[in-house]
Amino acid sequence: MDRLTNTIRPYAWGSTTAIAELVGAEPTGEPQAEMWMGAHPGAPSRTGRGALNEVIDADPERELGKDAAAKFGPRLPFLLKLLAAGAPLSLQVHPDLAQAKEGYADEERRGVPIDAPNRNYKDANHKPELICALTPFDGLCGFRPPAETADLLEALEVDSLKPYVDLLRAQPEEAALREVLTAVLTADREQMAETVTEVTAAAQRLGGAYEPYAGIAHHYPGDPGVIAAMLLNHVRLQPGEALFLGAGVPHAYLDGLGVEIMANSDNVLRCGLTPKHVDVPELLRIVRFEATDPGVLRPEASPSGEEVYDTPIDEFRLSRFVLPEGTAPHDLTATTPQILLCTAGSVRAGELALTPGQSAFVPAGEKAEVSGDGTVFRATVVA
């Protein structure tokens, strides 16, 4: 079992206090958005044996286990994070596996540099993800039914929104959502900025259901993504609750601290709330234009005390143990690779003592027991 030393990414939207408070450190005054735990080459965790990606590369079958290496290839197929949003992230969607392979091959064929700002596909993998709240956590997830969005927009009493309201009421669901999102993202930028300014003032005046969107507009004044965001369900997770975000589902995280796990990919198509590239035609090819319930997940407890967040993919499996003091150790030994992350109290993982924010990598087949008085998240795969 290897203690991990992890990189904190200072993205501008990150909270300046949340991760510091969790780990018991003084805030630096700079944003701390994500702590990465895994073998992603962009910021691999470090172990006493070297960078985790290099450790795995040296002997994939030993570190990952025979079954996982055969199923997912010679790399850790997930990335685990602490995510601390102090401002809204970009509104975005992720491709499915077939779309990612096709998009990556096309950009490679056309010679688009991998680090080009207009590059959509950094790899040929999909990026399903799961966010589990450690604090109250606000986000947007999936399209609201068009009729409900029409009511929401109409009540703002902004004349330039009327065409969108009419489309949402007159067209079938898929066509309504597609046409309105297309119209918002392709509108004249100056005219859209004026609309967003009017919407912001109305949302601030009305409050209630409009508060999340007023907050978004505060961070992104004039951005068409503010209107796009109003097409989506607003969700507030309580600690321990989670959201699974599959391919084609538009989403954005707004505020809060959580544990996030995802397939090991960087593929993102943005819809707005960002200065980065927005490829509207490719985005419209990837988005699933259907109203969806956000589907808040609560963990399913097993007799062993493990609480599992059930998801429909195999690249990751997230669970947690809430350990009361004095309980017998839980045996987590498995034939798959694992990362263990403490988020509360003090736990012992094998010979390692873990406090909040500390983590460990467990190679496949290595004996692993956890005990103590606290909470530990377990990330692994289904092989």
Report residue 334 CA to chain centroid gap.
26
Residue 260 to residue 35: CA distance in whole angstroms:
10
- For the chain, the straight-line distance linking the first and the last C-alpha, in angstroms and rounded, comes to 20
With beta carbons less than 8 A apart as the criterion, state whether 370 and 328 touch: no
In degrees to the nearest 10, what's the CA dihedral of 271, 275, 279, 280? Answer: 40
- Tokens of residue 27, six digits: 């805030």
With beta carbons less than 8 A apart as the criterion, state whether 18 and 257 touch: yes
58 φψ region: left (φ > 0), alpha (ψ -120 to 50), beta (else): alpha
Q: How many residues does the chain have?
A: 383
pLDDT at residue 357 is higher than 80: yes
Catalytic annotation present for 144:
no
pLDDT at residue 326 is higher than 80: no
> What's the pLDDT score for residue 139?
97
Question: What is the rounded average pLDDT of the residues 349-362?
Answer: 97
> What's the pLDDT score for residue 9?
95
What is the identity of the amino acid at 245? L
What is the identity of the amino acid at 143? F
Residue 286 to residue 96: CA distance in whole angstroms:
8
Q: Determine how many CB atoms are found less than 10 A away from the CB of residue 152.
A: 20
pLDDT-based confidence at residue 14 (cuts at 50, 70, 90): very high
Question: What is the rounded average pLDDT of the residues 40-61?
Answer: 96
Residue 182 to residue 194: CA distance in whole angstroms:
18
pLDDT for 123-135, tens place per residue? 999 999 999 999 9
Q: Which helix (H) or strand (E) holds 157?
A: none
Residue 92 to residue 61: CA distance in whole angstroms:
35
DSSP label at residue 227? H
pLDDT for 178-233, tens place per residue? 999 999 999 999 999 999 999 999 999 999 999 999 999 999 999 999 999 999 99
Higher per-residue pLDDT: 90 or 326:
90
- Which of 3, 75, 144, 270 is labelled catalytic? 270
Question: What is the rounded average pLDDT of the residues 134-148?
Answer: 97
* Coil vs helix vs strand at 377: strand
DSSP label at residue 234? E
- Residue 108, phi then psi, degrees to nearest 5: -65, -45
> What's the pLDDT score for residue 41?
87
- Tokens of residue 161, six digits: 């929104």
Helices (H) and strands (E) in the chain, counts: 12, 21
Residue 191 to residue 160: CA distance in whole angstroms:
9
Q: Determine how many CB atoms are found less than 10 A away from the CB of residue 359.
A: 26
Residue 213 to residue 229: CA distance in whole angstroms:
7
What is the identity of the amino acid at 27? P
Residue 220 to residue 202: CA distance in whole angstroms:
16
Residue 50 to residue 297: CA distance in whole angstroms:
36
Name which of 6-10, 39-43, 206-210, 338-342 the model is least confident about: 39-43
Residue 79 to residue 61: CA distance in whole angstroms:
19
